[in-house]
């Protein structure tokens, strides 16, 4: 499926960045979607330096339907129909449930769940036109189990998995597959925020906090963004044609 167009949201850092780079390395033309131009441009430059092709689409706010429509139209105009859609934009603030106020709840659900809905709604017709389309939603092990102090995040990621399964069934008789990947604790800038919160609340060092998160993985380590990206690339390939409606944990055995 080389030289096909892949659009990745949240492509400026962390898992989204790793996915964009991996897809480009496999020959896809990659649309880098996100709110800020600078990190997206850095990813584009890295892809181009390696001989790949990528386009920057900043101002792509997944919570804003009009911004999504504009960004999608620009991406299709630049690189053709979208064969691979990767929904990766997300946020993971932590707070006890009693301190999870409504604005926090709304923000997390808006980015993590409604964002997937808006982007997929805007892209689906193009994905179907492209043929052998692939939709991959980056969820989390928090969509497969519960974690304390991230109730909004858990709710949003459970919702992403539910949406993935429902859409996979609706599209099962087409040539579009829909799957989710569910990373465990992953070594990204997002985890840095969690480490800072744990350190502030417990008085433990960031190193101790990192070790405590790593221990949740039976392999005793954090997942790498590249490991998540490899799974996405497989789901985007022809080798995964019969794989749809799954939520695949990339977590070292944490979720069995």
> Per the residue annotation, which of 117, 147, 149, 153 is the catalytic one?
153
User: Distance between CA atoms of 116 and 89, rounded to whole angstroms?
Assistant: 8
| Residue whose C-alpha is closest to residue 23's, from 4, 42, 40 | 4
- Cα four-point dihedral sign 22, 16, 175, 72: negative
Per-domain residue ranges for the chain? 5-186+223-250
Instruction: Calculate what percentage of the chain has a pLDDT beyond 90.
Output: 88
- pLDDT tens digits for range 87-128: 999 999 989 999 999 999 999 999 999 999 999 999 999 999
Per-residue pLDDT, averaged over 192-199, amounts to 70
Is the confidence at residue 24, as pLDDT, over 80? yes
Question: Please, what CATH class does the domain formed by 5-186+223-250 belong to?
Answer: alpha beta
Q: Tokens 């480490």 — which residue?
A: 195
Specify whether the CB–CB gap between 144 and 136 falls below 8 A.
no
Adjacent-strand bridge partners of 7: 31, 85
- Determine whether 153 is an active site residue: yes
Query: Using an 8 Å Cβ cutoff, are 185 and 227 in contact?
Result: no
Question: pTM for the complete prediction?
Answer: 0.95
Q: What is the average pLDDT value for the chain, to the nearest integer? A: 95
């Amino acid at each position: 499926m080389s030289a096909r167009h892949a659009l990745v949201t949240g492509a400026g850092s962390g898992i989204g960045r790793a996915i964009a780079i991996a897809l480009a390395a496999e020959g896809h033309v990659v649309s880098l979607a996100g709110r800020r131009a600078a990190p997206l441009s850095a990813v584009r430059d890295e892809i181009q330096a390696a001989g790949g092709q990528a386009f920057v689409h900043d101002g792509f706010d997944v919570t804003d339907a009009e911004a999504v429509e504009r960004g999608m139209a620009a991406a299709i105009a630049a690189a053709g129909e979208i064969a691979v859609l990767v929904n990766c934009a997300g946020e993971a603030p932590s707070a006890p449930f009693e301190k999870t106020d409504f604005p926090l709840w709304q923000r997390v659900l808006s980015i993590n769940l409604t964002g997937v809905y808006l982007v997929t709604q805007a892209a689906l017709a193009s994905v179907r036109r492209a043929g052998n389309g692939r939709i991959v939603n980056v969820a989390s092990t928090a969509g497969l189990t519960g974690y304390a102090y991230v109730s909004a995040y858990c709710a949003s990621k459970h919702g992403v998995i539910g949406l993935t399964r429902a859409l996979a069934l609706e599209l099962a008789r087409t040539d579009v597959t829909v799957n989710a990947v569910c990373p465990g604790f992953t070594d990204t800038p997002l985890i840095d925020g969690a480490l800072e919160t744990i350190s502030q609340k417990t008085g433990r060092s960031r190193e101790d906090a990192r070790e405590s998160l790593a221990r949740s993985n039976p392999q005793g380590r954090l997942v790498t963004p590249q490991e998540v990206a490899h799974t996405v690339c497989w789901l985007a390939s022809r080798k995964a044609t019969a794989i749809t409606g799954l939520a695949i944990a990339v977590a070292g055995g944490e979720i069995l």
